[in-house]
Structure 1
């Protein structure tokens, strides 16, 4: 029997999830959003063939009570993620939550406890973990063929206007630390093999924020638009992180340095000094493929009763670092 899924927040990323879930054999059974016209148009556009348009609900709570649902995707604005994921788990639904899963370490740890207590899966859309070039690096790390000493990660872009991924204005503001910082910090720690992380003052087993700083709050958003940090992983490896929503030149890359090899990941391509190792075209194509792989893994995990590839427990190391930066970085 097909997995029946609901989507909360019918925006740009939700459309990609709807398409990916359909490819994975799931049925879109319900959609929730405060703008009924938008939610209805989304439901009609993404109806699963042979099943008719999904039901439309005004609130996430109404959707969680929809009869026959197995799972839900949380694709609402960031500030709602933790509360909605908590409610979905308590309603007995397996949950895939868009990044960030929460806006504090405490919320993320609470969600991990709720998932364990309810026996429901809480996957988190750290989509880079499912992208081919990133998987190739991680496979080298896990095989012991790449002992990473330093990751230099840059995510720089222009986000001075609140536009969604499809270029449409939205009524909520993005956050460079909790959104793209979550992607970037998690990827760096993953490559360093950091299975746990602590902010400054944590024990010796965890990655440490050696130094971090945030820019002054920008008058256009009231939030810092620039972040810099240096992390140390349990094995001694370093990560240097640079984030910006002010950059008029878009840069998203990672340089992965080992004693005997250096890799560079930019867009959809992974290179070393001998040439291209993986090439999935531009970054958008790579991320679309990664999202499809991620959502397929989520559906398969439900049908087979196994753990998804990336759960809330897996991203707690990055959440600890982000929380430390949010609370302690000047």
Structure 2
């Protein structure tokens, strides 16, 4: 078991990196000793904001020179696979933001590399750690709640290539491999069933961004429980992922770390998803064990996404 503080290299200087920094602040025996970013000015600003001592703009150099135990990849989705493998090859533990990759082949290679290296390699499948979904999984397992239909709505307005703060983005987000990944994984994880029947369709491809802006996805478990996923980059209004648990006993709504009944009354749940997720990563390192949402745990979800991609064309 590791007894010294876990030294972290934060890779990325954007909004998600900041959320991880906030989460890590509540976890004992963790020290973010360095940050590696793509833009020097923004990376230095990030380091100043969070009191990080060392700043790098070259990821490979940061891996070799920063003296860290682990990396958190809060970088653009297209970089995740290569950066995760670089970290594993450098002997570092890895927490990779969702999605672990943008195709199944990369995910399989990453998983094999992590297994060979015997390193802690985890994906930030935050829905598995959000308090409402953990509570619903508990209720389903104990028989308190019989799920009939999970309805997931994922909404953003991304007709231009902007990030969550409305700033220009140097890469393009993806409804299937990023946003649908959250909900497909959640449904399979809730029911402990990754052998799902899947179907779906997409809207037209955006002429400039080159991606589908709207999708609908259907899932059915072996016991015939249904999930319906609606996703749009064309939505005006609040953004994020909204979940409706339709069950025999009740209908409950989950959003981030809140759970409400069908009348809008808040139900008591405890925990914050990002803190629980990042704490699991640190605990797995310290205890030398496989974490929840390890690469190997998330690979079945990537296989389902590939099926959906082929179906949608």
Q: With structure 1 as the length reference, what TM-score do the two structures score?
A: 0.86
Whether 1:323 aligns to 2:311 is no
Distance in 1 between the 2:132 and 2:215 partners? 25
RMSD of aligned residue pairs (Cα, Å): 2.2
Q: How many residues align?
A: 308
Aligned pairs (5 A) from 1:80-99: 80-99=79-98
Residue number in structure 2 paired with 1:163 = 162
Residue number in structure 1 paired with 2:13 = 10
SS of equivalent residue, structure 1 residue 253: strand
SS of equivalent residue, structure 1 residue 160: coil
Residue number in structure 1 paired with 2:283 = 300
Tell me the alpha carbon deviations over residues 123-160 of structure 1, each in whole angstroms, 9 at most, x when there is no partner.
11111221111111111123233332321211122122
Structure 1 residues 12 and 280: alpha-carbon distance in aligned structure 2, compared to 1, 3 A threshold: farther
Unaligned runs of 5+ in 2: none
Aligned pairs (5 A) from 1:50-129: 53-129=52-128
Residue number in structure 2 paired with 1:41 = 45
Query: 1:213 pairs with 173, 194, 201, which one?
Result: 201
Aligned pairs (5 A) from 1:161-240: 161-194=160-193, 196=194, 206-209=195-198, 211-240=199-228
Structure 1 residues 218 and 113: alpha-carbon distance in aligned structure 2, compared to 1, 3 A threshold: same
Distance in 1 between the 2:175 and 2:23 partners? 26
Distance in 1 between the 2:255 and 2:6 partners? 35
Q: With structure 2 as the length reference, what TM-score do the two structures score?
A: 0.90
Alpha-carbon shift at residue 257 of structure 1 (Å):
2.6
SS of equivalent residue, structure 1 residue 72: strand
Distance in 2 between the 1:274 and 1:44 partners? 45
SS of equivalent residue, structure 2 residue 175: coil
- 71-80 or 262-271: which moved more? 262-271
The answer to whether the Cα contact below 8 Å between 1:123 and 1:311 also exists between their aligned partners in 2 is: yes
Aligned pairs (5 A) from 1:23-34: 23-25=26-28, 26-34=30-38
Distance in 2 between the 1:76 and 1:268 partners? 24
Alpha-carbon shift at residue 102 of structure 1 (Å):
0.5
Distance in 2 between the 1:267 and 1:109 partners? 29
Distance in 2 between the 1:156 and 1:89 partners? 34
Unaligned runs of 5+ in 1: 48-52, 197-205
Residue number in structure 2 paired with 1:50 = none
Distance in 1 between the 2:151 and 2:17 partners? 31
The answer to whether the Cα contact below 8 Å between 1:133 and 1:278 also exists between their aligned partners in 2 is: no
The answer to whether the Cα contact below 8 Å between 1:5 and 1:70 also exists between their aligned partners in 2 is: yes
Alpha-carbon shift at residue 66 of structure 1 (Å):
2.4
Residue number in structure 1 paired with 2:267 = 278
Structure 1 residues 162 and 279: alpha-carbon distance in aligned structure 2, compared to 1, 3 A threshold: farther
The runs of at least 4 aligned residues of structure 1 exceeding 4 Å deviation read: none
